[in-house]
Structure 1
Amino acid sequence: MAKVSIIIPTYNLCNMLCETIQSVLNQTEKDLEIIVVDDGSTDETANAVKRIGDSRIKYFYKDNGGTPAARNYGLERANGEFIAFLDHDDLYPKDFIEKMTAALENNPEYGLAYGELDIILPDGRKKRDFAGGFQKSGYLVIDCFKEGFVHTSSSVMRRSALSDCRYDEQLRQSYEDADFFLRLALKIKFIFVPDVRGIRREHYDNLSVKVGVKPTRILVLERFYNILGGKNVVPKKIAYKKLSNACRKVAKYYLKENMRKASISIYKKAIKYNPADLRLYKELFSAFMIRKETCPNWQMPESLGLPVAPKAEI
């Protein structure tokens, strides 16, 4: 059994994937396994992984089902005491796993360690993400609800913390990370590790770039607050302000895209959550003034039910 399992879901990005895998193999912590879940790639991913030739790499191919399903698939095959999910285009600095697991070993009351990110832009420039400015440790449900500052590729968690928590496979292309960390935050304490940072590489093929802004962000927050227990922790005033702001962000995107029906609908929802926000009325008026509707058949997605994930024991 390996000490740490690093699960890397991938789809048609073999060149960057190999660099990502190499950043794991270069870790100062050597007691690890790398679980590559190929989510239906049609490029040279399988051959590229095999050419690396390290016994710690376990390659699995499955039919395309989206990132949440691929992560769950890898989790069911992981043997490590600690679990990390690494995106196929991101990197670890050499001491990332060592420092993250040390933080958890030295603080047994915490279930997840997280840090910040260095972001490499497509033109090679770097910028830093500062974890929403929080850098806190403890039960962070309210903070995660407000800001969503924990990143997949800059966190490591105990296997035991995931005994009844999986990624929601309904959220195939958006906001699955925010949902996952919110649900974890209800159960366990998070510890901030200040002296090591994950590395995110932004590029045109980033899923987050392609997805854009969707009402899924609203549905995830509403479900967490109303159905999954958030109401018992997050004060109503904070929750409604966050929900209103989430609605406004989506509505502004639709307004920009001249989606009259969509923007009006979601601005009304934003106002319902926070009627004192005067900006919303001005922007709603602008939505009514759209003359050329680009998506007349738009419909608000249905509310999310309970998270959908495989029923299996870790």
Structure 2
Amino acid sequence: MPSISVIIPAYNAEKTILETINSVIKQTFSDFEIIVVNDGSTDKTLEILQNIKDDRLKIFSYENGGASSARNRGIAYATGDYISFLDADDLWTPDKLELQLAALQAHPEAGVAYSWTYVINGEGELLRTIEHNYEDKVYGEMLLKSFVTCGSNPLIRREAIESVGGFDVTLKSGDDWDYWLRLAYKWHFVVVPKHQIFYRRSATSKSFKLKIIRECSITVLDRAIKLAPLELQHLKNHSLSNIYRYNVQLYLDSLNLNPKVDIKYVLGNWWNSIRYKPDTLKDIETYKLLIKILLTGIMSPKLMSSLLEAFRRTKQTKNLLIQS
């Protein structure tokens, strides 16, 4: 039996699924199986999968049930001692599995290994990088935000998976965060301090359904805070602030894709991020967000998106110069 089971839920992923699977096949650690759950695709996803020649690939097709349902079905088929999930439009660097497995083997008390992340757009262009170094008992940090970032990141021991059960299929969004919280409540985490995940935000990503992701995140937080010990209960308002602030950032990331979003809704999120954590008024980024929001009210979505893209590229250039 393979050491690692890689579970890929795929729904109408014809544009990205081949590149995603190739990023697994090219891993430096090769003792794995790839379990693709074709979640009712109506495009050429299944045809593309059937043309991939690799004995480690296993394909299972079902009627559409959503990503959480597909992941749960993949878990049922998995035979590895470790399990990793990969969304059908995300990518891994070649050493992802090797380094995460080494981290778990070096820390037998840990149930989850995660890495740093590149956030990319639908065209594969870098939007930002995300680096967190939380380790050991991380329930408090996980209450504040889903620092693992996306469902394509962690490598998880089978025992940890079995201890928390499957993903919550009733959640329309925030199901990843809910799952990481349940794992963090019972298990230690270990970090691989290297960017190994390419997390794609595209026009079809549920990350852009602003109201759904906000409301589901609040639901997940309300559920998780009830399990938190008394010394962590005070984190609820800080976490709420993060949820509203994240919703603003999603709006700015998707401006050219969702130009009809009510600016009053976005300003309301910005204000709530301050209301629940007044200390954010000391953060210059808070005012930068406000300026960007206000500019979206007077500029066309296309022009504003181009302006934000110019700011992003300038920032990247400065960071590269600093690193060199």
What's the C-alpha RMSD, in Å, of the aligned pairs? 3.2
Alignment of 1:15-30 (within 5 A): 15-30=15-30
Corresponding residue of 2:204 = 205
* Cα distance in 2 for residues equivalent to 1:65 and 1:82: 24
Helix, strand or coil at the partner of 2:17:
helix
The code of the aligned residue for 1:49 comes to L
| Amino acid in the other structure paired with 1:48 | I
Look up the match of 2:322: none
Whole-Å separation in 2 of the counterparts to 1:65 and 1:129:
31
Cα contact 1:136–1:192 (8 A) shared by 2: yes
Structure number with higher relative contact order (C-alpha < 8 Å, ≥ 6 residues apart): 1
So what's the TM-score if we normalise by structure 1? 0.76
Q: CA deviation at 1:198?
A: 1.1
Q: Is the 8 A contact 2:95 2:196 kept in 1?
A: no
Aligned to 2:159: 160
Alignment counterpart, residue 140 of structure 1, candidates 138, 141, 149: 138
Q: Give the aligned partner of residue 95 of structure 1.
A: 95
Q: Please tell me whether the aligned partners of residues 114 and 154 of structure 1 are also in contact (alpha carbons under 8 angstroms).
A: yes
Alignment match, 1:62: 62
- Aligned counterparts, 1:1-314, within 5 A: 1-131=1-131, 134-150=132-148, 151-165=150-164, 166-172=166-172, 174-210=173-209, 212=211, 213-226=213-226, 229-230=227-228, 232=229, 235-243=232-240, 246=243, 256=262
Question: Which secondary structure state, in structure 2, belongs to the residue aligned with residue 199 of structure 1?
Answer: strand
More helix by share: 2
Percent identity of paired positions between Structure 1 and Structure 2: 36
| Structure 2: tracts of 5 or more residues without a match | 252-260, 282-324
Give aligned pairs, total. Answer: 270
Q: Give the C-alpha shift of residue 120 in structure 1.
A: 2.6
Q: Return the offset for 1:247.
A: 5.9
Give the distance between the partners of 2:139 and 2:35, measured in 1 at CA: 29
Give the drift of 1:14: 1.7
- Mapped partners of 2:31, 2:3: distance in 1: 5
* Contact 2:214/2:244 (8 A) holds in 1: no
Report the CA distance between 1:240 and its aligned residue. 3.0
Distance 2:157 2:151 in 1: 14
Structure 2 Cα separation of the partners of residues 183 and 113 of structure 1: 15
Residues 99-147 of structure 1, C-alpha deviations (whole Å, 9 max, x = no match):
111111121111110011122334543244223xx31211101111112
| Kept in 2: contact 1:95–1:196 (CA 8 A) | no
- Give 5+ residue unaligned stretches, structure 1: 279-314
1:238 shift after superposition: 1.9
Report the Cα offset of residue 248 of structure 1: 7.6
CA shift, 1:246, in A, is 3.5
What letter corresponds to residue 238 of structure 1 in structure 2? L
State the partner residue of 2:308: none
Change in Cα spacing, 1:83 to 1:256, as seen in structure 2 (3 Å) is same
Supply the distance in 2 between the matched residues of 1:72 and 1:16 (Cα, whole angstroms).
22
The question of whether the paired residues in 2 share the 8 Å contact of 1:83 and 1:159 is answered with: yes
Please state how far the C-alpha of 1:42 moved relative to its aligned partner: 0.6
Deviation readout 1:253-310 (Å, 9 max, x if unpaired): 8x94557xxx79xx99x97x779999xxxxxxxxxxxxxxxxxxxxxxxxxxxxxxxx
- Give me the TM-score of the superposition, normalised by structure 2: 0.74
